[in-house]
Amino acid sequence: MTFVVPEEIEAYAAAHTTQAGAFLDELAAETRATLPSPQMLTGELEGRLLEFLVFLTGARRVLEIGTYSGYSALSMARVLPPDGTIDTLELEPKHAEFAAGWIDRTEWADRITIHVGPAERALERLPGPYDLVFIDADKSGYAGYYEAALERLEPRGLIVVDNVLWSGRVLEESDDETDDTRALREFNARVVADERVVCVMLTIRDGVTLIRRR
């Protein structure tokens, strides 16, 4: 993944952000050493952003579509109230097993439930409502996940979507015409034109869009 801001600015921002702590640092290091596609790791800056969003919204019920190694789920879980819960959906059993191993070592394990298998199937069992939905999964599925999130969103809830700038490949002048890039371009255009919502796209890491009901 290529950041959308210069690497030295990204490093400066990370250096001036409260550190995630030894446990999440170890999780990040083990993710990079063990799992394929380590660029999928949420990372310290975005992990802190998610933590802040959960804290500021007072979210009690969180839906995450795309668990990967569990870093983002744990970032959010540690600021949930005692009765808070996270349903996190992961297609790959290997990723889910890795995440579960780390989650089970924490005091927040009872707040996080990993649902393994296709997201569409899990969503049939999870009607919500949710206070916050984080989407960070297969890009071709973003449009469907977005609609599912809206259906399950509390009136003052928040949807957070990752990778919306796709290392700059979403720009019209980019010659990248892969399925994922086209899907993200279409998704971004869909959201900004959707009169049901208000959105803001942030240039943090690989791009994060925040969406609320109008």
**Rounded mean pLDDT for each run of 10 residues along the chain, 214 residues in total:** 80 93 95 91 93 97 97 97 97 97 96 97 95 97 97 97 93 83 96 98 95 97
What backbone torsions phi and psi does residue 108 show, to the nearest 5 degrees?
-105, 10
Kindly state whether residue 82 falls inside one of the protein's structural domains: yes
pTM over 0.85: yes
pLDDT at 5: 84
Quote the DSSP letter at residue 153. Answer: E
Q: What are the CA-CA distances from residue 155 to residues 58, 102, 145 (Å)?
A: 13, 33, 18
Kindly state whether residue 166 falls inside one of the protein's structural domains: yes
Name the domain count of the chain.
Answer: 1
For the chain, how far is it from start to end, CA to CA, in angstroms? Answer: 32
Kindly state whether residue 162 falls inside one of the protein's structural domains: yes
Kindly state whether residue 2 falls inside one of the protein's structural domains: no
pLDDT at 58: 97
Quote the DSSP letter at residue 129. Answer: -
Look-up of token digits 């799992």: 35
Kindly state whether residue 193 falls inside one of the protein's structural domains: yes
pLDDT at 43: 86
Euclidean distance between CA atoms 192 and 107, whole angstroms? 39
Beta strands 85-90; 112-116: pairing state:
parallel
Kindly state whether residue 204 falls inside one of the protein's structural domains: yes
Residue type, 65: I
Euclidean distance between CA atoms 5 and 68, whole angstroms? 24
DSSP string for 3-36: -SS-HHHHHHHHHTS----HHHHHHHHHHHHHSS
Domain with 34 in it: what CATH number?
A: 3.40.50.150
Kindly state whether residue 109 falls inside one of the protein's structural domains: yes
Range of the domain at 33: 7-213
Nearest CA among 202, 212, 213, 214 for reference residue 49: 202
Kindly state whether residue 1 falls inside one of the protein's structural domains: no
CB contact at 8 A, 17 and 48: yes
CB contact at 8 A, 27 and 69: yes
Residue type, 91: L
pLDDT at 121: 94
pLDDT at 3: 67
